[in-house]
Amino acid sequence: MTRLRLVVLAAVVLAPTLVPAAETPAEKKPGFLGRMFGRRAAAPVAKPAAPAATAPAAAPKKEKKVGGQKKPAPGAARAEKRPAGNPPRDAVARVQVFLDRQQFAPGKVDGAWSEFSRRAWDRWQRAQGLPPSDPFRNPPPALADQGEPYASYTVTDADAKEIGAIPGSMTEQSKQKAMPYTTLAEMMAERFHTSADFLRRINSGVDFGKLAPGTSFRAPNVAAFDLPALRADRKRATDEAIERRKAVAVQPGVSGPAPSASEPAPAGGPRYQLRVFEAEKFLEIYEAGKMVAAFPVTPGSATLPTPKGNWVVRSKVYFPEFRWDKAMLNTGKRSKEFHQIPPGPNNPVGVLWMGLSKDGIGLHGTNNPDTIGRAGSHGCVRLANWDAVRVAQFVEKGTKVTVE
């Protein structure tokens, strides 16, 4: 009996053809004996083609690893098989650059199809009256005509002059003349609406820890946030406003200062309206009921939420100082213990403050664009510096802001 059992067992192990092929699909996992003896499934034997009406769909071929990397099966088209939610880096950057140029900002241009990118794409489509579509598989003509996602830039001497040191304590910061960029990598990331990490990834031969005038690299092909140019423009606008005030002061029968360049008096009321959606962390801009732009934001926190309701813009200040008051930040009430932080891109409210009719609340920039949409503010609406200055182009004194 023992010898007979061994013969039967050997027959089972060594004769897989005893089981009809039709009852053993190719994808079936090996049974207990197969696992114990380490046998691989035999290659399927070619069969005559079945009638079209009954032929099962061919199973997709799996990718093989060669030299530690995946090698597609012969004839496989990986680009077509890639899911829409995980498109190639440069394809994503191309769409993000397009949205950024259209002023439907995706946040950082970083080659990752994030929630902000999807929300920006959805808003751009709605603004254009287009049905929902996948920008990677069915791009509309406007996107299909988009040029290269990257452009070359060379660091200048003027860029290097924007770099300085920032002490750690608020007491020491308040003694400084400005809050500058601390590295050229930080400055270049903000200039091109991206991160230093993404710049490193698309510039394998560039050491961003050692950037210097004359260094060239690739960057997202967006309308650059040029801090020196913005500073020069604001100085020119201030000088013009001062000259207008002087002219008005000497005219007989005219009293009061002329409106400043930064706070023009709108004829017939403000042209645009702003809506902040706290849940989606997006700010939308409307003209005559039509959405014309949208930007990601960080609204207030659970402790200090951005007050909901209808407000209006009371002031717009470029390169503001910031009154750092711990009690104000934590409770919304001012104390006598505070520090006045000087202006600059690393000021806590960035390069721009737009105060609302609600005391202590405003739209403003930031010294940490990585936190946009990912952390709560102290009741205000925070934007990346490059987006804050673009929002300001739509804002006049009296512009309505609805927080929902």
Query: Can you tell me the distance from the alpha carbon of 191 to that of 222, in angstroms, rounded to the nearest whole number?
Result: 9
- Give the helix/strand (H/E) hosting 128: helix 115-128
Closest CA to 161 of 211, 225, 228, 223: 228
Of 298-312, 326-340, 354-368, give the lowest mean pLDDT range.
Answer: 326-340
Distance CA 166, CA 184 (A): 14
Taking residues 170-195, report their average pLDDT: 96
- The first and second tokens of residue 311, run together, are 């407000």
Q: Which range in 8-17, 62-71, 338-347 is most confidently predicted, on average pLDDT?
A: 338-347
Cα–Cα distance, 378 to 334 (Å, whole number): 13
CB 64, CB 74: distance < 8 Å:
no
Average pLDDT over residues 275-288: 96
What are the tokens at 395? Answer: 């804002």
Alpha carbon distance 313, 401 (integer Å): 7
Mean pLDDT over 391-397 rounds to 97
**Residue type present at position 66:** V
Q: What are phi and psi of 29, to 5 degrees?
A: -75, 150
- pTM of this structure: 0.74
Predicted local distance difference test score (pLDDT) of residue 335? 67
174 alpha-carbon distance from chain centroid: 31
Bridge-based pairing of strands 64-66 and 362-364 is unpaired
Tokens representing residue 232 in the block = 């020069």
Q: Could you give the CA distance from residue 159 to residue 347 in angstroms, rounded to a whole number? A: 18
Select the more confidently predicted residue: 13 or 112. 112
- CA dist 350 and 344 (Å) reads 7
Alpha-carbon 81 to chain mean position: 26
How is residue 153 written in tokens? 């830039």
8 Å CB contact between 175 and 339? no
Maximum Cα–Cα distance across the chain: 127
Residue 58 has pLDDT above 90, yes or no: no
Q: Find out whether 325 and 347 touch, Cβ atoms under 8 Å.
A: no
Residue 9 belongs to what H/E stretch? helix 2-14
- Torsion region of 269: left, alpha or beta (phi above 0 gives left; psi -120 to 50 gives alpha): left
For the segment 145-152, the average pLDDT, to the nearest whole number, is: 91
Q: Quick check: 62 pLDDT over 50?
A: no
Q: What is the mean pLDDT of residues 199-213?
A: 97
Kindly list the distances between the CA atom of residue 225 and the CA atoms of 228, 231, 342, 345, in Å, as whole numbers in the listed order.
9, 11, 20, 11
Among 281, 270, 277, 255, smallest CA distance to 316 is for 270
* Residue for token pair 């809506």: 275
pLDDT in tens, 334-360: 667 788 999 999 999 999 999 999 988
Q: Where are the alpha helices (DSSP H) in 24-74?
A: 32-37
Lowest-confidence range among 104-113, 166-175, 329-338, 347-356? 329-338
What's the pLDDT score for residue 95? 97
Higher pLDDT, 377 or 298: 298
In DSSP notation, 164-188 reads ----SSHHHHTTSS---BS-HHHHH
Mean pLDDT of 300-317: 89
**Strand pairing report for 150-154 and 69-71:** unpaired
Q: Average per-residue pLDDT in the chain?
A: 79
Assign 3-state DSSP to the chain and report helix, strand, coil percentages, each to 5.
Answer: 30, 20, 50
Q: CB under 8 Å to 177, separation ≥6 — which residues?
A: 342
